[in-house]
């Protein structure tokens, strides 16, 4: 009887924990994992929607908005039409803005803002380069200032600097030094908060390939 | 023991029971748009909970919830209105069929394009981008210059201002943030194109309308150029420009929620004129001092306050030669003081209403010396405006507003010997009201109906102008638009000076437009008919002032405008092509009969070409403009407007070279082929002894205009440059 009771109890608990991953942290971690793995726009949209739902239920947390914005940037990079790309970027910009109302001076959010501006240039380099590339560089520098140990901000800034150096035909030495620093930082990146972003190492390595 | 187990069992049963009942409360259904098409990717969820799902194939969705009782289900999707509906959860499954309405910013939403070209807001699908103003050869970084390469405009080389669809220059008005700008152009020497007073760098976007515009804009018969000033700046910077015609320096200081910019400018064209010979007997070539400032502040969460001010002093003097007394130079001296101030505030109110309040003040003072005589002309313009708008529902958007214009103009003629010989002036109060509704009849059909009513204090009467337009989406990227409307404008200042009680001049526009835009390519064709009535007529004696002013004039203009732009086919190349056909006649001013006015040319076309050459870090551009001959009146021949000039042609080049990240060298040249463009002929007012009226050609004072400038930007990271501003 006792064994039956315990088995039943365990079963019930397993069943329940399987049914409802109850805590904010667990649900967030599950969705972050899905976001990093998502490829198609539909998958991204689905996980962005999940973050949006969490964001409206957890009015004090900035992480859900951060990941929703990041998901929109990813969708923008996968979309075909210029106007659709811009719509996702508009959405990302708006989400970052909302997230900034929930947390004071967060370097990760500044970096994401710069990422959006960088993507605007990518949509139409000739038409927007003059307007947005300087802006993106400035925003990303500010993100690095806010947290010099933020490897994502450093990587994005290095990518911008690389493009500029290539344009002016100069050596991307500074950008490469930043990438080395970023890669080292990725290595001992100890998140302050379990939900802090962890992406970017692969882009840093890919950019590093272009260094002499 | 048993008792204990029983309690445990009960507890566990309770727990599992809850878990089971959770899985039982299932919410499922479909999400579709108004046309019944399923929406994939919509977010369907219960407000304030994590519970929800994303709609997939067929617009279907399904999720479970543990929540009980009255809840709100929200459905959101990019480009659609958020939709909420109350649900009662009592353990039963729900099956819902949800229809989403197209939102205000839907991607492929139908918009009214009849008559208007949108520029700026570089993210949206628009015909022009702000950068185009700088990089268009021949536009010499002038606002009017770039719009002059669009269809519907006529090349009037000696004026430089916009002439739209058979309308005079004064029929095209400019608005900054909705507020009217009087005296938009700087004074210019005879037969030299005047430039707009406002620099392109101030604006983030523009809408250039060649007809059929909204009831919000009044006092413009032919065209409304609506400029949107930049938002709060977010970077500190200092810009220095060294140019062949002068120098300027500008700074921007940015704070968290506000910014202040200022600019000082000194223009002196003397060194340039000493190098390039001018067909003008200059005493003092044009010089000007200018200062401007812009302050922006975010107010609360949604409001923004914008202040802008601009002051300018310019002067020049020259000798003119009358055909009546060829040997006698007429000393002509012009001094102009100009000040413009504009303040706007907009914010959201409770209940979804958005208000905009604005005021603008223009002061323009001309002092013209003609030998011993002096003409003194101060003019004051005030414009106050308040509008309210709201999206009442997905189908209906309302805009309503009231405006007040004040114009005060005085003219005094003084003679060195006799003192004051003539003095006249008028003060005009013009209150106006407008209301407009946008009706989204379906996802593909949009109708806009509006009414504008104005009171003219000098003629003491009300004039009502109804306007309507319609747009229908014919495909994913194409649409047809039509517009019809009445437009009115107070008569020209010089005419009102003689006859203040004249009624406004009127025009009726009929426009039909087709436009297709696909990734990087735009094609549009537009045909229009415009009827003019109540135009001012008067009699012009050989000597003395015109008299017998009436509103008896009339006229028409009709034509076809074509536009093609492509920045996709060839990499790094962007070009556009405009053609306008114009057929117009008017019987106005002192015309003895209906005739083609001197500013109108039948065929106009322009090609603008731009190429970015990465290897030399430069953008190069060329613009070719052609206008067929313009009529003029030769009193030596029978008939009226009996002669025609040769066609106008201009080929211009420019080059912008990025020296380093914050330094740009800009060079441009107009009319590189050196064509001698003749704009018309002027005649003596009296015949000579042989009975012939002496004449001479109206032409450019110099065939080419060359420009060289170095633009330097200092910012914290040295990553900004003036390219977006030039």
User: B61 with B164, same domain?
Assistant: no
User: B458 with B504, same domain?
Assistant: yes
d(CA B516, CA B523): 5
User: B453 with B563, same domain?
Assistant: yes
Non-local CB neighbours of B433 within 8 Å, separated by 6+ positions:
B400, B401, B402, B403, B452, B453
What pLDDT shows up at residue B353?
94
Range(s) of the domain holding residue B102: 2-106
8 Å CB contact of A134 and B519:
no
Q: Which residue of A has its CA nearest to B518?
A: A81
**pLDDT band per the 50, 70, 90 thresholds, residue B122:** very low
Mean pLDDT of chain A: 86
**pLDDT band per the 50, 70, 90 thresholds, residue A127:** low
User: Residue B613: how many CB atoms within 10 A of its CB?
Assistant: 12
Residue B111 lies in a domain: no
Does pLDDT of B2 surpass 80?
A: no
8 Å CB contact of B40 and A42:
yes
**pLDDT band per the 50, 70, 90 thresholds, residue A16:** very low
Of B106, B125, B141, the last residue of a domain is B106
Q: Which residues of B touch A5 (CB under 8 A)?
A: 5, 8-9, 12
Picking from B15, B16, B522 by the largest number of A CB atoms within 10 A of its own CB, the best residue to mutate is: B16
d(CA B629, CA B639): 18
User: B162 with B78, same domain?
Assistant: no
Of B106, B126, B147, the last residue of a domain is B106
**pLDDT band per the 50, 70, 90 thresholds, residue B27:** very high
Question: A116 or B205: whose pLDDT is higher?
Answer: A116
8 Å CB contact of A137 and B19:
no
What pLDDT shows up at residue B343?
97
Residue B442 lies in a domain: yes
Kindly report the CATH number assigned to the domain that includes residue B7: 2.60.40.1120
Picking from B22, B26, B60, B78 by the largest number of A CB atoms within 10 A of its own CB, the best residue to mutate is: B78
Residue B247 lies in a domain: yes
User: B12 with B137, same domain?
Assistant: no
Report how many domains make up chain B: 2
Alpha carbon of B572: minimum distance to chain A alpha carbons (Å): 7
Q: Which residue of B has its CA nearest to A28?
A: B50
CB of B721 closer than 8 Å to CB of A133: no
Indicate the pTM of the whole model: 0.81
**pLDDT band per the 50, 70, 90 thresholds, residue A24:** very high
Which of A11-15, A37-41, A205-209, B90-94 shows the lowest per-residue confidence on average (mean pLDDT)?
A: A11-15
Taking phi first (over 0 means left), then psi (-120 to 50 degrees means alpha), and beta for anything else, what does residue B617 get? Answer: left
What pLDDT shows up at residue B108?
54
DSSP state of B187: P
Share of chain B above pLDDT 70, in %: 91
User: B96 with B137, same domain?
Assistant: no
Of B71, B106, B141, the last residue of a domain is B106
**ipTM given for this complex:** 0.84
User: B70 with B217, same domain?
Assistant: no
What pLDDT shows up at residue B4?
45
CB pairs under 8 A between A and B: 120
* Burial status of residue B562 (CB atoms within 10 A of its CB: 0-12, 13-18, 19 or more): middle
Non-local CB neighbours of B645 within 8 Å, separated by 6+ positions:
B629, B630, B631, B632, B678, B679, B680, B681
User: B137 with B101, same domain?
Assistant: no
Q: What is the pLDDT of residues B323-364, one digit of tens each?
A: 888 888 999 999 999 999 999 999 999 888 999 999 999 999
d(CA A42, CA B284): 69
Does pLDDT of B30 surpass 70?
A: yes
Q: What is the pLDDT of residues B437-453, one digit of tens each?
A: 999 888 788 999 999 99
d(CA A78, CA A60): 30
Does pLDDT of B322 surpass 90?
A: no
Per-residue pLDDT averaged across A97-105, rounded?
92
Question: H/E element holding B224?
Answer: strand B223-229
User: B96 with B198, same domain?
Assistant: no
User: B216 with B286, same domain?
Assistant: yes
Does pLDDT of B21 surpass 80?
A: no
Alpha carbon of A36: minimum distance to chain B alpha carbons (Å): 18
d(CA A104, CA A197): 17
Residue B218 lies in a domain: yes
Residue B617 lies in a domain: yes
User: B382 with B522, same domain?
Assistant: yes
Non-local CB neighbours of A4 within 8 Å, separated by 6+ positions:
none
Does pLDDT of B46 surpass 90?
A: yes
DSSP state of A103: S
What pLDDT shows up at residue B269?
85
User: B696 with B650, same domain?
Assistant: yes
């Amino acid at each position: 009887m006792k064994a039956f009771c315990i088995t039943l109890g365990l079963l019930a608990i397993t069943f329940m924990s399987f049914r409802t991953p109850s805590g904010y942290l667990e649900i967030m971690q599950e969705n972050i994992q899905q976001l990093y793995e998502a490829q198609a726009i539909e998958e991204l949209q689905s996980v962005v929607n999940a973050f949006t739902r969490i964001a409206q239920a957890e009015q004090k947390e900035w992480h859900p908005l951060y990941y929703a914005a990041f998901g929109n940037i990813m969708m923008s990079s996968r979309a075909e039409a210029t106007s659709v790309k811009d719509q996702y970027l508009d959405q990302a910009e708006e989400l970052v803005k909302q997230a900034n109302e929930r947390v004071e001076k967060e370097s990760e959010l500044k970096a994401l803002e710069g990422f959006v501006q960088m993507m605007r240039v990518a949509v139409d380099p000739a038409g927007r380069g003059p307007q947005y590339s300087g802006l993106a560089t400035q925003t990303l520098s500010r993100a690095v200032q806010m947290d010099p140990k933020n490897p994502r901000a450093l990587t994005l800034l290095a990518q911008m600097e690389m493009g500029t150096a290539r344009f002016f035909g100069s050596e991307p030495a500074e950008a490469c030094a930043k990438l080395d620093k970023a890669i080292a930082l990725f290595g001992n990146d100890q998140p302050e908060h379990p939900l802090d972003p962890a992406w970017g190492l692969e882009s840093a390595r890919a950019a590093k390939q272009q260094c002499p | 023991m048993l008792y204990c187990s029983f309690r445990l069992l009960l507890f566990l049963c309770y727990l599992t029971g809850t878990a089971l009942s959770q899985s039982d409360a299932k919410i499922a259904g479909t999400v579709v748009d108004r046309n019944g098409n399923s929406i994939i990717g919509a977010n369907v969820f219960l407000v304030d909970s994590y519970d929800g799902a994303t709609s997939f194939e067929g617009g279907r969705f399904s999720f479970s919830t543990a929540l009980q009782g009255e809840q709100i289900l929200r459905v959101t999707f990019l480009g659609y209105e958020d939709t909420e509906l109350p649900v009662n959860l009592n353990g039963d499954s729900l099956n819902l069929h949800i229809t989403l309405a197209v939102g205000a910013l839907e991607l492929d939403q139908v918009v009214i394009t009849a008559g208007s070209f949108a520029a700026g807001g570089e993210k949206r699908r628009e015909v022009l981008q702000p950068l185009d103003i700088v990089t268009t050869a021949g536009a010499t970084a002038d606002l009017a210059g770039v719009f002059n390469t669009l269809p519907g405009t006529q090349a009037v080389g000696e004026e430089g201002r916009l002439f739209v669809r058979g309308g005079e220059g004064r029929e095209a008005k400019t608005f900054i943030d909705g507020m009217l700008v009087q005296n938009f152009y700087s004074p210019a020497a005879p037969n030299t194109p005047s430039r707009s007073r406002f620099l392109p760098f101030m604006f983030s976007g523009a809408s250039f309308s060649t007809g059929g515009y909204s009831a919000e804009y009044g006092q413009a018969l032919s065209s409304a150029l609506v400029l949107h000033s930049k938002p709060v700046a977010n970077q500190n910077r200092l810009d220095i420009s060294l140019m062949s015609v002068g120098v300027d320096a500008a700074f921007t200081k940015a704070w968290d929620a506000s910014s202040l910019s200022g600019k000082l400018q000194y223009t002196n064209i003397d060194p340039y004129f000493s190098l390039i010979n001018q067909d003008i007997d200059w005493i003092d070539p044009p010089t000007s001092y200018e200062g401007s400032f812009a302050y922006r502040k975010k107010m609360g969460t949604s409001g923004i306050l914008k202040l802008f001010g601009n002051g300018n002093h310019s002067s020049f003097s020259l000798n003119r030669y009358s055909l009546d007394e060829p040997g006698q130079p007429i000393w002509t001296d012009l001094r102009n003081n100009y000040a413009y101030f504009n303040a706007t505030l907009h914010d959201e109110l409770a209940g979804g209403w958005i208000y905009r309040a604005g005021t603008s003040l223009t002061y323009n003072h001309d002092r013209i010396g003609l030998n011993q005589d002096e003409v003194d002309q101060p003019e004051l313009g005030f414009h106050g405006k308040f509008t309210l708008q709201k999206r009442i529902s997905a189908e209906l958007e309302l805009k309503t507003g009231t405006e007040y214009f004040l114009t005060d103009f005085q003219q005094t003629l003084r003679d060195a010997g006799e003192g004051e010989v003539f003095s006249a002036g008028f003060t005009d109060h013009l209150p106006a009201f407008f209301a407009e509704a946008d009706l989204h009849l379906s996802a593909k059909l949009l109708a806009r109906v509006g009414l504008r009513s104005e009171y003219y204090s000098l003629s003491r009467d009300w004039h009502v102008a109804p306007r309507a337009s319609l747009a229908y989406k014919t495909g994913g990227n194409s649409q047809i638009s039509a517009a019809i409307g009445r437009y009115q404008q107070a008569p020209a200042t010089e005419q009102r000076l003689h006859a203040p009680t004249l009624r406004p001049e009127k025009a009726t526009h009929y426009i039909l437009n087709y436009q297709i835009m696909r990734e990087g390519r735009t094609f549009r064709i537009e045909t229009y008919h415009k009827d003019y009535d109540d135009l001012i007529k008067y009699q012009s004696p050989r000597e003395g002032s015109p008299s017998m002013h009436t509103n008896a004039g009339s006229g028409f203009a009709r034509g076809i405008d074509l536009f093609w732009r492509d920045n996709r086919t060839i990499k790094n190349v962007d070009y556009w092509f405009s053609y306008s056909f114009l057929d117009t006649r008017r019987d106005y001013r002192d015309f003895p009969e209906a005739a083609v006015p001197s500013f109108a040319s039948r065929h106009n076309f322009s090609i603008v070409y731009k190429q970015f050459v990465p290897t030399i870090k430069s953008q190069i551009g060329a613009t070719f403009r052609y206008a067929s001959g313009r009529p003029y009146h030769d009193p030596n021949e029978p008939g009226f407007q009996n002669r025609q000039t040769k066609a106008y042609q201009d080929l211009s080049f420019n080059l912008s070279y990025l020296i380093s990240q914050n330094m740009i060298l800009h060079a441009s040249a107009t009319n590189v082929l050196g064509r001698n463009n003749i704009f018309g002929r002027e005649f003596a007012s009296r015949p000579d002894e042989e009975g012939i009226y002496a004449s001479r050609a109206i032409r450019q004072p110099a065939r080419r205009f060359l420009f060289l400038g170095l633009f330097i930007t200092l910012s914290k990271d040295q990553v900004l440059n003036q390219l977006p501003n030039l």
